[in-house]
Amino acid sequence: MHDPNMPFSEAEKAGLYRAIHERRDVRSQFLPDPVPPRVLGRLLEAAHHAPSVGFMQPWDFLVIESLEVRRQVHGIFTRENEKGARQFSGERQQHYRSLKLEGILESPLNLCITCDRSRGNGPVLGRTSIVEMDLFSTCLAVQNLWLAARAEGIGVGWVSILDQEELATVLGLPEHVYPLAYLCIGYVSEFLDEPELARKGWRQRLPLAELVHANGWGQEVSDDELRQALEDPCPR
C-alpha cells in the first residue's frame, strides 16, 4: 500500500483529469468484445469506493448478461422513448428521433446500480434532514465506475429513458431497492472528443464562467485571476 500522503505526480494528475475530460456517454460505438471479469471487478471496486452518507454504501450491482432480460429492458426503453419524442414537436422532434439514446442490446454487458433505501436498518448518520442522500451517494458510485471504465478504455452509457417500476419488476427488485442507474458497458470503436449530444447539435456545453457565482445567486466573481481561470478553465 503506498503512502496516502505522497502528492500525486504530474502524470497521475494528468491521468485523472484525462479520465474526467475524456469520459463519454457511449451508445453508438460499442464493440461486442466481452469485458474480462477481472476488469469488471476493478470497475465495481472503484464504484464501491465512492463516498456515501454515513458510510451507508447503499448500492448493489446487478450484472445483466441475459439477452432475454435485456430485451425486456429494451422494450421498456422503446415505449418510454416514444413518450420522450412526443414532448417535442416539428423539427426538434425529428432531431430527437434521429438520436441514438441507448446501447442495451449492442453492448456486451448491462449493469444496474441500485440504491437500497433501508441499508443499515435504522437511522443513517447525515441523512436525517435530507433523505435523498442515499440516492446522491449511489450517483457517486456510478461516476466512479464511469471514470474507471474510461481509464480502462471501456465505454459506459447511462439509460434513463425507462419506467422505474417496470424496470424494478423485470429485475425482481424488492420494494425498498431503487433502480438508480441502468448502464450499458463495453469496449468501443472510438471515444468522441465531445458529448454526442453536442456533436449532433442537440445542446452545447455552457460557459463555466456563467455558472460560477459569488456569495449569492447571480453575483459576479470579483477575483480577476479566478475569472480569468474560469474563462480558460483547462489548458491541457
**Backbone dihedral region of 2: left (phi > 0), alpha (psi from -120 to 50 degrees) or beta?**
beta
Q: Give the residue from 138, 141, 123, 150 showing the smallest Cα distance to 23.
A: 150
CB of 24 vs ligand FNR, minimal distance in Å = 4
- Of 69, 72, 195, 230, the residue at the interface with ligand FNR (CB under 6 A) is 195
- Contact letters for ligand FNR, residues 159-188 (x by CB under 6 A): xxx---------------------------
For the chain, helix (H) and strand (E) counts, in that order, are 8, 4
150 part of the interface to ligand FNR, by CB under 6 A: no
Q: By Cβ distance, which residue is nearest to ligand FNR?
A: 195
Binding mask 71-110 for ligand FNR (x = CB under 6 A): ------------------------------xx--------
- Output DSSP code: residue 209: G
**Shortest Cβ distance from residue 1 to ligand FNR (Å)?**
32
Cβ-based nearer residue to ligand FNR, 161 or 177: 161
**Closest separation in Å from C-beta 158 to ligand FNR:** 4
User: Side chain identity at 186, as an amino acid letter?
Assistant: G
- For 185, list phi and psi in degrees, rounded to 5: -135, 135
Q: What's the burial of 194, exposed, middle or buried (CB within 10 Å: 0-12/13-18/19+)?
A: exposed
14-22, 33-41, 157-165, 170-178 -> range binding ligand FNR (CB under 6 A): 157-165
Q: Site for ligand FNR (CB under 6 A): which residue of 27, 70, 119, 127?
A: 27
Binding segment for ligand FNR (CB under 6 A), chosen from 20-28, 111-119, 163-171, 210-218, is: 20-28
**How far is 22 from 146, CA to CA, in rounded Å?**
11
Task: Tell me the C-alpha distance between 100 and 78, whole Å.
Answer: 11
Residue pair 39/152 in contact by the 8 Å Cβ criterion: yes
Summarize as ranges the residues that interact with ligand FNR (CB under 6 A): 24-25, 27, 101-102, 158-161, 195, 197
